[in-house]
Chains A and B, each alone.
Chain A
Amino acid sequence: MKVMIPTPLRSYTGDCSVVEAHGTTLAEVLADLERRYPGIRFRMIDEQDAIRRHMRIWVNRDEVRVLNVPLAASDEVIIIQALSGG
């Protein structure tokens, strides 16, 4: 499925804004992303498997807050950085 990558994480994807990843849950897709782009997962997900404070993950038009969300191959995962501060 397609995964949209925000600019702060594109150093991991060779500047690609859209990448492919596979899995039947969000957790599996993130694991596949980590396999393809080592290091990217920990920047988004902390060691307790929580989505980090300023990360937002959407599946199609629904925001998700946990990783065990089932996904279909036709779904689109959109990762967004909620930027703030100075």
Chain B
Amino acid sequence: MKLKRDPSPATPKPSTGAVALLIATRKGGFILKSDSARRSWRVAGPVFFGQVVHHMVIDHRPSAARTLLAATSTGHLGPTLCRSIDLGKTWKEATKPPAFPRVPDGQKGRTVGHTFWLTPGHVSEPGVWYAGTSPQGLFRSEDDGDTWGPVAGFNDHPMYGQWTGGEQDGTPDGPKLHSINVDPRDPKHLYVAMSSGGVFESIDRGANWAPLNAGVLADFRPDKYPEFGQDPHCVRLHPLAPDVLYQQNHCGIYRLERSGGRWVRIGQAMPKKVGDIGFPIVLHPRNPAIVWVFPMDGTTVWPRTSPGGKPAAYISRNAGRSWHRQDAGLPRSQGWFTVKRQAMSVDSHEPVGVYFGTTGGEVWASRNSGAKWACIARHLPEIYAVEVMEFAR
């Protein structure tokens, strides 16, 4: 696709003051709030107690109201979506949550199992949000998350069936559309990722889409480098270098420079004993060359736990040419962490705070860019997502 863009935005100043973490778990949502030094933390909640909370996200755009959205479901009721306009004190259910269109009687229609991923839209479009669902669907709201409509250009694309594969091609709890990224220079330029399916791009606000997977391995297929069908776990675009994308994939860690046209496997530089499999990938808010991952064991039957029972984050400060282990403060052994794709996040302080939550219900924080970790909450339910909410800038 031909890209023509305005210049990248200027580097923002670091944040100061207290930080809150929006913790989405299998049994409800929690909010962890720090003191101004980010040393001590207090847990509030649960909200939506007993419901599966897939993602809780705040709208950080300076142009927008600071709305919080939470994607919820239960094992038994249909999915829904809730909004808060007072930073989580009170919540109201969306009037029209994401749902596929009704099909005529006799045809098999799609139904949203749950909303999995939430992303605020472009800064020039306050009130616009995007949602990714399971099974794979892309939805858009133009009224700050109250009513949602399908992005038909994606959901009804002639290639949808081939791009998304069958239900057997998805993750164990359903195939997902995730990692919705909006180019900060152009509200019409969107990226999404699917597990499975791969990464896809639109330059016309979702009317048309094209695969963007050149160079990405799919070792579970006979054709190892297909046009689509890969399994990206998490894809991030850096707001200051929007022509650079990072991807933690089922088959390694990748970086894409749009001018180069192909993803490059930067995970090859990881230690061989650790490998480059994982779920999350997070980016430094002001330096596009700095990136963190949280490796997991992707060997044999895929335990998806910290390799060797020794949990660690890995940081690269040079866009993936080399990686450094960050395990100070984490268990030295018998630490079988699983950190899901939405469960790692960063704040905008200096030094940057890095946070992750485990499926064992622990939240770990580093207020010095991963140099040292401390457990700031434990005994929570299985953690699905950790998002940062900042109060001052």
Contacts and interface: CB of A to CB of B under 8 A. Distances in A.
Interface of A: 8-9, 38-39, 42-50, 52-55, 81-85
B245 to A, nearest CB: 32
A70 B76 CA distance: 26
**Interface of chain B, main secondary structure:** loop
A81 B305 CA distance: 35
Interface residues of B, number: 18
Contact of B93 (A39, A81, A84): A39
Contacts of A54: 75-77
A13 to B, nearest CB: 14
A52 B77 contact: yes
A42 B103 contact: no
B62 interface: no
Given A38-B95, A42-B99, A47 B112 contact: yes
B71 to A, nearest CB: 14
A4 B336 CA distance: 46
A8 B75 CA distance: 11
B76 A50 contact: no
Contacts of A53: 76
Nearest to A43: B77
A42 B78 CA distance: 6
25 contacts: A8-B74, A8-B76, A9-B77, A42-B78, A42-B97, A43-B78, A43-B80, A45-B78, A47-B101, A47-B112, A48-B102, A48-B110, A48-B111, A49-B102, A50-B111, A54-B75, A54-B76, A54-B77, A55-B77, A81-B76, A83-B75, A83-B76, A84-B75, A84-B76, A85-B75
A48 B109 contact: yes
Contacts of B77: 8-9, 43-44, 52, 54-55, 81
A39 B78 CA distance: 10
Contacts of A45: 78
A12 to B, nearest CB: 9
Contacts of B101: 47
Given A44-B78, A52-B77, 14 more contacts: A38-B93, A38-B95, A39-B80, A42-B78, A43-B77, A43-B80, A45-B78, A47-B99, A48-B100, A48-B103, A48-B110, A53-B76, A54-B75, A55-B77
A78 to B, nearest CB: 16
Contacts of A42: 78, 80, 97, 99
Contacts of A55: 76-77
A47 B75 contact: no
Nearest to A41: B78
Contacts of B78: 42-46, 52
A13 B75 CA distance: 20
Contacts of A47: 99-102, 109, 111-112
B7 to A, nearest CB: 42
A21 to B, nearest CB: 18
B107 to A, nearest CB: 9
Tell me which of B93, B102, B103 has the highest count of chain A C-beta atoms within 10 A of its own C-beta.
Answer: B93
Interface in B168-186: none
Tell me which of B76, B99, B103, B111 has the highest count of chain A C-beta atoms within 10 A of its own C-beta.
Answer: B76
Contacts of B93: 38-39
Contacts of A82: 76
Q: Sorted from nearest, which 6 A-B pairs have the closest CB atoms?
A: A54-B76, A47-B99, A48-B109, A43-B77, A46-B111, A85-B75
